Amino acid sequence: MTNEELQTLVKTISIDVFKKPFLHQAKHNPRLRTTGGRYMLADHTIEINPLVFKVHGMDELVGVIKHELCHYHLHLEGKGYRHRDEDFRKLLNETSSPRFCKPLAAQNKKSTSFYIYECESCKLKYKRKRRVNVQKYRCGKCAGAISIQINK
């Protein structure tokens, strides 16, 4: 879908669902990673992640556009346009817009690697995701010196 087609779709949805014109620009933004779209307060632009259409299809794209148009119209009217505002939640329900976008890609689970430290005195083991400066810290149980045992 091109930016011109997206612009036409946003204008059509704005008139059909909100009964108000969309007078600004709508465009694709492939740099969006975790969100389906966003509304820019400064210039009233709506940016849509092109993956929404590729991954989930037209229905999800229309939902994301309706969600961003809720922000757009409420902001221009001077009403509460943020997710936590009552005006925003009310307009979402009235237009049957989704509150959240479906996940666009499988979340990259960080590797389960961790560091295992061991007290040299009492042999208590400590599992940590982050590296610890063993010169700076001591065992919490016996105040003994800590050494790294395994770096997984």
Distance of CA 40 to the CA centre of its chain: 15
Name the catalytic one among 68, 86, 118, 120: 68
Does the global pTM surpass 0.75? no
Query: Is the pLDDT confidence value at 109 over 80?
Result: no
Whether 5 is catalytic: no
pLDDT at 101: 85
pLDDT at 149: 82
pLDDT digits (tens, 9 = 90+) for 42-63: 999 999 999 999 989 999 999 9
